[in-house]
Homo-oligomer: A and B are copies of this chain.
Amino acid sequence: MTKHVHVQNCRTCNRRKNIFTFLNDDELELIDKHRYELTFNKGEIIFKQGSPLTHVACITEGLAKLYIEGLNKRNLILSFAKPVQMIGGPGMFVDYRHHFSVAAIEDTIACLIDTKVIEELIEHNPVFARDLLKTSNLTSISNFNKFINLTQKQMHGRIADAFIFLLDEIYGRNPFILSISRQDLADLTAMSKENVIRVMKIFKDQGLLKVDGNLVEILNKKELIRIGKTG
């Protein structure tokens, strides 16, 4: 992992997300006063579902998974967070609890910001509030896609979607080293890890994918997209 230089101040932080561009220096100062910067080792839990929601997180290094802990120890991965992405709890204004867990998939650095500060900014900065609403809407829209994926596509389509997603949204290069486990892929696509492996093998045999342990190369993106579209 790249060596991390501790960020001195939110105002001068070059990692700060788009959403914070709508804040003036005073507001950034306010955030700076109420934040902790923490490092998490691979596998460690950042937020635990059900626990009190006191802070939101901003991932500045690494990769984290957001997942719901469901029935019979089965998890469902909602999404991933990479630099620089804010993880705001939907428990805000509601019950002030975390409604999903967040865990580091790679070694990760996160800034934890007091929810009170976020609420204060919402109160006084309508552009910030508006942007939060937009983010929230974007999440809704991607949830709708997820609903259709998980309920109306079968395994091949879901796995194809997953690899296109990993290439385009997470790793951004081809080939890439899969830092998530087969079980994580299963939790992402709502299938058993055995079937994840089986479908991956089929794609490998068909020349769509090259798989060597955790090194994956998308060989036929167009065809994978087609499989994803038709289910």
Contacts and interface: CB of A to CB of B under 8 A. Distances in A.
B133 A68 contact: no
Contacts of A78: 144, 147
Nearest to A71: B152
B68 A134 contact: no
How would you classify the secondary structure of chain A's contact residues: helix, strand, loop or mixed?
helix
Contact of A152 (B70, B129, B148): B70
Interface string A56-88: 000000000000101110101010000000000
B129 A71 contact: no
A137 B93 contact: yes
A5 B111 CA distance: 54
B100 A144 contact: yes
A202 interface: no
A130 interface: yes
Contact of A136 (B91, B126, B136, B153): B136
B132 A133 contact: yes
How extensive is the interface on chain A, given as a class?
35 or more
Interface string A147-179: 110111100000000000000000000000000
B141 A140 contact: no
Contacts of A141: 90-91, 94, 99
A130 B140 contact: no
Interface in A87-124: 90-94, 99-100, 119, 122-124
A138 interface: yes
Given A90-B141, A148-B71, A151-B190, A130 B136 contact: no
A116 to B, nearest CB: 13
Closest 7 A-B residue pairs measured CB to CB? A93-B134, A90-B140, A151-B190, A90-B137, A129-B129, A70-B148, A136-B136
